[in-house]
């Protein structure tokens, strides 16, 4: 029997247990930890600058009270400057993040806001290593639109529930990566996605036990907060 390749390890928002998530220090720490990939989230400001952050309202301290509780798409980029994530880092642009990562890891970009595909694609195409970038979203129609704009970029579809027909969903979105939540991965899902030429990337896998179980099913990558923990578990599993 041919041995399965070890799943790639993708830093969920960088290295969020050691640095503020979705920030440049978090991405640099993930690189230090030898992550194979980095997952990050993006929105657009009012003046259409793509910025890296998870929530539509910043999880960050604003520079003035008048900006508190304002959505990112209601703020200009200048207004967003000075927001402090845990008092340790600023909200960066996607361009800055990709320049820092500089092709040293695959970058998986989650589209968190509607109608930002064009701006994200433009930022990726200007980056040092666009061939190492992929786009994914819970909004599968948005992935299809992004793929139409940039067929050279890999597309992925997210699921937080059981996937009844992953291959049909892949084809509808013109996607090749399937991102199911960790509890909804089984042998049938992995086999069907692989049969359609796709990859299975569970999220967010933070225990050694589940990582080993998923690796045994043949998943292609694991999105995690704990890169060293999962690497040690997978290495130990290979040694048995």
pLDDT, one tens digit for every residue, the chain (240 residues):
345 689 999 999 999 999 999 999 999 999 999 999 999 999 999 999 999 999 999 999 999 999 999 999 999 999 999 999 999 999 999 999 999 999 999 999 999 999 999 999 999 999 999 999 999 999 999 999 999 999 999 999 999 999 999 999 999 999 999 999 999 999 999 999 999 999 999 999 999 999 999 999 999 999 999 999 999 999 997 766
Q: Is residue 175 part of a domain?
A: yes
Q: Which stretches of 68-139 are DSSP H helices? A: 77-80, 94-101, 117-125
70 domain-assigned: yes
Q: Give a yes or no: residue 1 inside a domain.
A: no
pLDDT at position 238, please? 78
Domain count of the fold of the chain: 1
- Is 182 domain-assigned? yes
Looking at residue 240, what is its pLDDT? 66
In angstroms, how far is CA 83 from the centroid of its own chain? 22
Which residue segment(s) compose the domain that 15 sits in?
8-239
Q: What is the pTM of this model?
A: 0.97
Contact assessment for residue 198 and residue 218, using Cβ atoms and an 8 Å cutoff: no
Torsion of CA 218, 222, 226, 229, to 10 degrees: 10
In a domain, residue 2? The reply is no
Q: Does 19 reside within a domain?
A: yes
What pLDDT sits at residue 5? 87
Instruction: Report yes or no: 17 and 26 within 8 Å, Cβ to Cβ.
Output: no
CA distances from 121 to 22, 48, 194 (A): 19, 12, 26
- What is the predicted pLDDT for the residue at 212? 97
CB atoms closer than 10 angstroms to residue 81: 11
Cross-strand partners of 50: 44
Pairwise CA distance, residues 199 & 194, whole Å: 6
Q: What are phi and psi of 146, to 5 degrees?
A: -65, -40
CATH classification at residue 155: 3.20.20.190
Residue 2 is predicted with a pLDDT of: 43
């Amino acid at each position: 029997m041919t041995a399965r390749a070890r799943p790639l390890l993708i830093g969920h928002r960088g290295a969020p247990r050691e640095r503020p998530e979705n920030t440049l220090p978090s991405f640099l720490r993930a690189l230090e930890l030898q992550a194979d990939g980095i997952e990050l989230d993006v929105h657009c400001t009012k003046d259409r600058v793509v910025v890296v952050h998870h929530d539509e309202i910043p999880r960050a301290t604003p520079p003035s009270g008048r900006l508190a509780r304002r959505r990112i798409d209601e703020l200009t980029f200048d207004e967003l400057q000075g927001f402090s994530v845990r008092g340790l880092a600023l909200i960066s642009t996607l361009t800055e993040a990709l320049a820092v990562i500089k092709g040293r890891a695959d970058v998986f970009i989650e589209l968190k806001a509607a109608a930002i595909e064009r701006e994200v694609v433009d930022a990726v195409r200007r980056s040092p290593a666009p061939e190492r970038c992929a786009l994914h979203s819970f909004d599968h129609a948005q992935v299809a639109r992004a793929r139409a704009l940039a067929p050279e970029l890999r597309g992925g579809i997210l699921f937080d529930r059981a996937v009844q027909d992953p291959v049909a969903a892949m084809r509808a979105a013109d996607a090749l990566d399937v991102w199911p939540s960790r509890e909804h991965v089984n042998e049938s899902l992995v086999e069907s996605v692989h049969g359609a030429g796709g990859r299975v990337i569970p999220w967010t896998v933070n225990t050694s036990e589940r990582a080993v179980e998923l690796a045994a099913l043949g998943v292609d990558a694991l999105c995690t907060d704990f890169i060293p923990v999962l690497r040690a578990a997978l290495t130990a599993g290979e040694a048995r």
